[in-house]
Amino acid sequence: MSDELNQLENITHQYRRSLSAYEARTGRDAVTVERDGSGEERQRIAAMDADLSAIEARMQSMAAEKARAEKRAAELEARLAEPVYRTMPTAQTVENRDSAEYAQRWLKAVASGNPAEMRALTTGSANAGIPTDMERRIVDRMFQANVMRQIATVSTIDSKRTIPVQNALPTTALVAEAGPISASDPSWSSAISIVPYKLATRVTMSQEFIEDAIGDAGIGSGLQYVADKCALSIALKQEEYYTVGTGSSQPLGICVDIGTTGAISQGVDLAGAADTVTADEILDAVHAVSPQYRASPRFRWLVSDAMLKNIRKLKDTAGYYVFSPASSVNQTNVVGLPGTIYGVPYSVGQYVPTATGTDNVYAVVGDFSYFEIFDRTGITSMIDPYSGAANHNVNLYVYTRTDSHIMLPEAFAAIYG
């Protein structure tokens, strides 16, 4: 929620500055701006009102979601503390992945390597959905370890998708009284194909570990261990593809080379290494993005740590650091808001390219609501009790399917080599 608080502080600061400027210009009270302000002033105040309302709604939604998650976690902990059934559950209970009983049977199936038991946990497949509590832990850990999932738009889909991209709006024109109105339709330039690619990881567990985890008091810690191992592996690989994926038999990353189909096509060409970037080029990159996208609350930088180090040393011609460690109005160099580059928030991605190369993207700035991650519903498990049988080990495979795309390349600009 820290990003929302920073955005709220930013917009509130701009709001006050705009009202103060109106009072200084007209000598009237600020409350009259919506009635007596210029068209530009009224439009600016209306836009900031809309942004504030959107941020507040999002914060309320996040608070409500957090409350629901805490309630659900409390319910799960209460269930896990109850005695475990020793009899075969009913078919209706089997499919309830929220229950401690399901988690117990899932771990027993892993321990025994019993494909028939795994099929009983699902609907006619040798692969079973993992317990809900474990899936929640995996998703939470994936979010923590994956910067792109935090700043991008994340959607859940139930199949492949083809999304058309509009390239022209209907025509609007002045019309004389009783004059004819010419009809015109929007046009569509291309379509983005969403293909969830499968990412799988393997966790090897000893028979002793699994048997101990099945105990009445140990099931939570056992699920936590497995969830942590799976989530970290999957999250790091997802982060790599979301950042530099080529889009060919894999997700398309935000930092894919300039010139790749669907990639960012505008920005600043350093024609060299990342450490040659100048303050003017930082400003040029921000203003290469149209103002309507720069006004978005999700407008931000994605940089490598090495690029951030270079940027923090830069000053503009007035002597101000491009990196502002204290509060600042968006897209100014006035000292102020923590952690901004030219007044724009930033995130550090560990897979953002740093090596010198033609068309290598070193940094991206843009409205990240137009970079979208598509998750196929659910996280699924499969067991292999045979490969590690000589060492009394069981291999657990966990896989998920995902894709990512730049939905609107003009909403971004890149600094590239």
Mean pLDDT of the chain: 79
Residue 127 has a pLDDT of: 57
Secondary structure of residue 5 in the 3-state scheme: helix
pLDDT at 243: 97
**Angstrom distance (rounded) from CA 114 to CA 75:** 29
What pLDDT, on the 0 to 100 scale, is given for residue 10?
Answer: 76
Q: Determine the pLDDT at residue 2.
A: 65
Number of H helices, E strands in the chain: 13, 15
Q: Minimal CA–CA distance to 362: which of 322, 413, 315, 314?
A: 413
Tokens coding 99: 């229950």
> Model confidence over 272-319: pLDDT tens digits?
999 999 999 999 999 999 999 999 999 999 999 999 999 988 988 888
Q: Taking phi first (over 0 means left), then psi (-120 to 50 degrees means alpha), and beta for anything else, what does residue 303 get?
A: beta
Position 99 scores a pLDDT of: 73
Flag whether pLDDT at 120 surpasses 90: no
Buried (b) or exposed (e) across 19-46, using 16+ Cβ within 10 A?
beebeeeeeeebeebeeebeeebeebbe
Segment 150-171 shows an average pLDDT of 81
- Which 3 state secondary structure label does DSSP give 262? coil
What's this model's pTM, rounded to 2 decimal places?
Answer: 0.64
Beta sheet of 267-269, edge-to-edge order: 267-269, 412-416, 361-367, 299-303, 344-348, 340-341, 323-324
Confidence (pLDDT) at 84: 44
Answer yes or no: is pLDDT of 408 > 80: yes
With a cut of 80, say whether residue 250 has pLDDT above it: yes
Determine the pLDDT at residue 282: 95
| pLDDT tens digit sequence for 78-96 | 665 554 444 334 444 445 6
Q: What is the DSSP string of 180-210?
A: -------EEEEEEEE--EEEEEEEEEEHHHH
Predicted pLDDT at 337: 42
d(CA 119, CA 381): 11
Residue 30, both tokens: 């600020």
Which residue has better confidence, 361 or 12? 361
For 326-374, the pLDDT digits (tens) are: 554 455 544 444 578 988 999 999 999 999 989 999 999 999 999 999 9
Tens digits of per-residue pLDDT, 48-84? 788 778 877 777 888 788 888 788 777 766 665 554 4
At 123 the pLDDT is: 45
